[in-house]
Amino acid sequence: MSDKHYTLTDPESGSVLELKRYDPTIGPSVLDVTKLYGSQGVFTYDPGFAATACCTSDVTYIDGEKGVLLYRGYPIEQLAEKSTYIEVCYLLLHGELPNKTELANFEESIRTHTMINESLLRFFNGFHYDAHPMAMMSGVVGSMSAFYHDSTDIHNPEHRDIVAHRLIAKIPTIAAAAYKHTLGQPFVYPANDLDYCGNLLSMFFAVPAEEYEVDRVAAEAIDLLFILHADHEQNCSTSTVRMAGSSGTSPYSAIAAGISALWGPAHGGANEAVINMLEKVGSVDHINEYVARAKDKDDPFRLMGFGHRVYKSYDPRAAIIRKMCHKVLEGLGQQDNPLFELALRLEEIALKDEYFIEKNLYPNVDFYSGIIYQALGIPKSMFTVMFAIARCVGWVTHWCEMVADPTSRIGRPRQLYTGPTERDYVSLKDRG
């Protein structure tokens, strides 16, 4: 980071304020306001952190205007075409693509950490049969803090590595246990001879009474979706992981906080909400009615899977998923999938509408991903869980980066107070 300055002049008093300016490797410069309160007695105000960089990070870069997404400098389009999810996990965690030996060792480590403690497995019996799997996920991943006491020193890089491998390896197992609980089916143990996504499918769909063969079209589709969801810089859930982790809490608790943040419909919960919306729209004839509702300020309805805080152009992940939908649906013999037809038409109509054009609202990653998951037989309530499995590597990478950063401090924002000024307590008998 270079050490330049940015000067602000108060037009009334003429006083000059110098703020340090940091120039990133790419993207807009950042002004350092850490000394502002000490020198000027004022805070900055930025609800939703739309204009605030809260950390330095080497992991992921987004150019929202141009629709660019880079993991460790590599364009998402190249990774989607040429890489695998496990290789992307290594890249995110370590900053570089692995050589053959490094990849083999990493894969081996993830494969051999897939089982979870049997006691942890029994937690699922405590959940109601119709509990949302995201509720079970946050509870059980948080409960991992009560196990694995061999690697609790967050300042030890080896311990952090073990935490990362455990989380990436075990989160599909926990997700599958949540799914099997909702079905009332027996839990299927991980099969370490299968690859990451093949194992996930087997734990989801195999039953002890029958042979199960992994569908390669499905496994490859999930692998690609996982690459696209693996990280997205300082989004709501990742920032939550960093915020919770900044207190020095257990990494499993911090990741559980991230899972909770992801669940909301404005974030990862949107993939489930998109399918609910498309089912409600029902047919092409009703699209205009729903588009009109989305534009109506007095109606809380929004087009789910549309709009993004950072992307003001087409989300590059949505572009890849839309293309992939054609291929996967064809591979599954579902080329006439009515929800996909409806989604394509809805996109076409919205993108020609003045409201969406003016506000730069385009399909985001969640608009088409649910269509693929649904075609693969994954139920709606598991869509956000799939997102959580994929994003786990991003969360843990950011947590590691934060813990290793000597400039990290506990996250503690300030506020613009609008409550009452100081007043005296009135005893109950004297209150009217």
Which residues are identified as catalytic? 308, 366
Q: Which stretch binds ligand CMC (CB under 6 A): 34-42, 111-119, 337-345, 360-368?
A: 360-368
| 229 half-sphere exposure, CB direction, 13 A CA radius | 28
Q: What does the per-residue mask of binding to ligand CMC show for 221-240, with x meaning CB under 6 A?
A: --------------x-----
Q: Of 65 and 96, which CB lies nearer to ligand CMC in the complex structure?
A: 65
Distance in Å, CB of 360 to ligand CMC, minimum: 8
| Torsions phi, psi for 407 (to 5 deg) | -90, -5
- State the number of binding residues for ligand CMC (CB under 6 A): 20
Binding ligand CMC by CB under 6 A: which of 94, 302, 312, 327? 302
Residue nearest to ligand CMC (CB): 307
- Contact status: 134 vs ligand CMC (CB under 6 A): no
DSSP 16-78: EEEEEEE--SSS--EEE-TTHHHHHS-----GGGTT---S--SSEEEETTTTEEEETTEEHHH
Stretches 1-9, 11-19, 304-312, 392-400: which one binds ligand CMC (CB under 6 A)? Answer: 304-312
Task: Select from 267, 312, 345, 380 the one that contacts ligand CMC (CB under 6 A).
Answer: 267
Binding track, positions 142-181, relative to ligand CMC; x by CB under 6 A: ----------------------------------------
Kindly tell me which residue out of 165, 170, 242, 308 binds ligand CMC, with binding defined by CB under 6 A.
308
Among positions 90-129, residues that touch ligand CMC (CB under 6 A) are none
The region of 23-31, 181-189, 335-343, 361-369 touching ligand CMC under the rule CB under 6 A is: 361-369
Residue placing its CB nearer to ligand CMC in the complex, 104 or 266: 266
Identity (one letter) of the amino acid at 195? D
Closest CA to 375 of 321, 319, 320: 321
The residue to which tokens 């330049």 are assigned: 4
Q: Contact, 365 vs 310, CB < 8 A?
A: no
Q: Does 268 bind ligand CMC (CB under 6 A)?
A: yes
Tell me which long-range contacts 60-65 makes (C-beta under 8 A, separation of at least 24): 60/92, 60/231, 60/232, 60/233, 60/394, 61/26, 61/27, 61/233, 62/232, 62/233, 62/310, 62/311, 63/26, 63/27, 64/308, 64/310, 64/311, 64/312, 64/313, 65/312, 65/313
Q: Is residue 326 involved in binding ligand CMC (CB under 6 A)?
A: no
If binding is defined by CB under 6 A, does position 59 make contact with ligand CMC?
Answer: no
Say whether residue 278 binds ligand CMC (CB under 6 A).
Answer: no
Q: Which residues of 43-80 are buried (b: 16+ CB within 10 A; e: fewer)?
A: eeeeeeeeeebebebebbbbbbeebbbbbbeeebeebb
Using CB under 6 A, which of 107, 195, 347, 366 touches ligand CMC? 366
Strand, helix or coil for residue 331: helix
Which residues sit at the interface with ligand CMC, rule CB under 6 A?
A: 48, 235, 266-268, 270, 294, 302-309, 359, 361, 364-366
